[in-house]
A = this chain, B = another copy of it.
Amino acid sequence: MGIVVQKYGGSSVADAAGIKRVAQRIVNTKKAGHQVVVVVSAMGDTTDDLIDLANEVSPLPPARELDMLLTAGERMSMAVLAMAIHDLGHEARSFTGSQAGVITDAEHGKAKIIDVTPGRIQTAIDEGAIAIVAGFQGVSQTTKDITTLGRGGSDTTAVALAVALRADVCEIYSDVDGIFTADPRIEPRARKVPRISYEETLEMAAQGAKILHLRCVEYARRYDMPIHVRSSFSEKEGTWVVKSADVAGVAQEGANTMEAAIITGVAHDRSQAKITVVGVPDKPGEAAAIFRAVAEAQINIDMIVQNVSAAATSLTDISFTLPAGEGQTAMTALSRLQETVGFDSLQYDDSVGKVSVVGAGMSSSPGISARFFEALSEAGVNIEMISTSEIRVSVVVAETQVEAAVNAAHAAFDLGSDEIEAVVYGGTGR
């Protein structure tokens, strides 16, 4: 009898009907012979509503108090979920992050987990109860104040608890069936991936696929905790995120056995913007000055491209991408440099998108970039920037061409299926 940790997101517990549905799933897992620990997010839009309430009172609320406020959200969902389970005839006990032993540093709003001491959770499940734990929150080791882990913190709570409890698996539930070869909303032939490695998942997430948060996948990889990504609205098997060695060569239960795919999926991200610094003197230290200014403004930059300088002028252009939300800050920081660095002008473009192909098989298969770029060319997509890693190739294109680029890449690497329904509903057959 193993321990299963299940995490349900806000969309799964948005209202009373959702909570009852989730309660039934949890009870089914318990009846199947598992000890069950559930991590739950705040209901639906609760967190956003609480942030709105804070902003009504204070334009810049103190972080300690914002954490105190936001943690009310999970407190509500976990208590109500425990009630719904109780109503199905099973004992459930809810625990705050602090009660569950989620110990963090004191960085309010983005606290990191330092330790997990789940003594009360272990006692609860050993006594036959289902334990419900508030996601996204913990308690500071030094100040004893309540902290939040930031967005994606509930997934991380679930994985961290699973590791500390030596669970068999951490199941992450949302409203999608698993991880797909591309976003099914823009690529109708997208196929659910039965297994994927931690590394590929990290690349997919980093490149904009809204599946799992980077932190939680990194945590799972460090401790080799299998994650099962699945939908709370269906009984279908989802996607297993496991270590690379467990991906290749495993016959996928209930799914067609496949050759190891070179490309696992196509990710896209419309949230980026591009800044070009035009006419930078091509001498040592200029680029460093530019990126130091951006770093000091706490901007996370992603791709960087520097043109070969024009021989006649010894001037070059430097372009980089960053989250569009941080564009204004970066432009302000750079403007201050214009005189000292002596560049000509700044250009800002938030009508860009990034499309990436990701796959662990890429490193041993030459020609992936070429095939990708040819496909984009045939589809009439113009490439503005390129960036690569061991298991990924990314391009920046005009935002209007993102969809065409995803479709072209998906087709070029044979990621789709002709039998859409057979594949999508062909999980474990449960």
Residues of chain A whose beta carbon lies under 8 Å from any beta carbon of chain B: 16, 19-20, 50, 53-54, 56-59, 61-62, 64-66, 68-69, 71-73, 75-76, 78-80, 82-84, 86-87, 92-94, 99, 120, 144
CA gap between A72 and B53 in the complex, in Å: 14
- Check if A53 sits within 8 Å of B65, measured CB to CB: no
Q: Is the interface of A mostly helix, strand, loop or mixed?
A: helix
**Please, which residues of chain B bring their CB within 8 A of the CB of A50?**
76
List of 7 A-B pairs having minimum Cβ-Cβ separation, nearest first: A69-B79, A16-B56, A68-B79, A58-B83, A61-B83, A72-B72, A72-B75
CB-defined A-B contacts under 8 Å, sample of 9 = A20-B57, A53-B76, A54-B83, A58-B84, A62-B82, A65-B92, A65-B94, A69-B75, A120-B144
Task: State A332–B228 Cα separation when bound (angstroms).
Answer: 54
Q: Using A64-B93, A65-B86 as known contacts, say yes or no to A54 and B75 having CB atoms under 8 A apart.
A: no
Report whether A86 and B72 are in contact in the complex, using a CB–CB cutoff of 8 Å: no
Number of copies of chain A assembled together: 2
Q: Let me know if A61 and B76 touch, CB within 8 A.
A: no
Which residues of the other chain, B, contact A56 by a CB distance below 8 angstroms?
16
Instruction: Give the shortest distance, in Å, between A199 (CB) and chain B (any CB).
Output: 39
Q: Do B62 and A83 touch across chains, with their CB atoms under 8 A apart?
A: yes
Which residues from B are CB-within-8-Å of A68? 75, 78-79, 82, 94
A84 to B69, CA, bound (A): 13
Residues of B within 8 A of A99 (CB): 144
B53 close to A66 (CB less than 8 A)? no
Per the bound structure, the CA–CA distance linking A270 and B427 in Å amounts to: 64
Q: Are B19 and A57 in contact (CB-based, < 8 A)?
A: yes
Beta-carbon nearest neighbor of A19 in chain B? B57
In the bound complex, do residue A86 and residue B71 qualify as a contact, i.e. CB atoms below 8 Å apart?
A: no
Specify which chain B residues have a CB less than 8 angstroms from the CB of A80 in the assembled complex: 53-54, 57, 65, 69
A53 to chain B, nearest CB (A): 6
Q: Given the complex of chains A and B, what is the CA–CA distance between A241 and B76 in angstroms?
A: 37
- When chains A and B are docked, how far (Å) is the Cα of A99 from the Cα of B144? 9
Inter-subunit contact A71/B75 (CB<8 Å): yes
Q: Other CB < 8 Å A-B pairs besides A50-B76, A57-B83, A68-B94, 7 of them?
A: A57-B80, A64-B93, A68-B75, A69-B76, A72-B73, A72-B79, A75-B75
| Chain B residues positioned under 8 Å from A73 (CB to CB) | 72
Q: Please, which residues of chain B bring their CB within 8 A of the CB of A58? A: 83-84, 86-87
Contact A84 B57 (CB under 8 A): yes
| Chain B residues within an 8 Å CB radius of A84 | 57-58
Q: Are B71 and A83 in contact, with the CB atoms below 8 A?
A: no
Chain B positions within 8 Å of A76 at CB level: 50, 53, 69, 72
A86–B69 CB distance below 8 A: no
Residues of B contacting A92 in the complex (Cβ-Cβ under 8 angstroms)? 65
Q: Inside 8 A of A78's CB, which chain B residues have their CB?
A: 68
Whether A62 touches B86, Cβ cut-off 8 Å, given contacts A20-B57, A80-B54, is yes
Say how far A161's CB is from chain B's closest CB, in angstroms: 18
Contacts of A64 in B (CB 8 A): 93
**Within 8 Å CB of A72, what residues of B?**
72-73, 75-76, 79
Q: In the complex, what residue of chain B is closest to A61 when comparing beta carbons?
A: B83
Which residue of chain B is the closest to A81 with respect to CB atoms?
B57
Interface-central residue, A69, A73, A92, by most chain B CB under 10 Å: A69
A144: chain B residues at CB < 8 Å are 99, 120
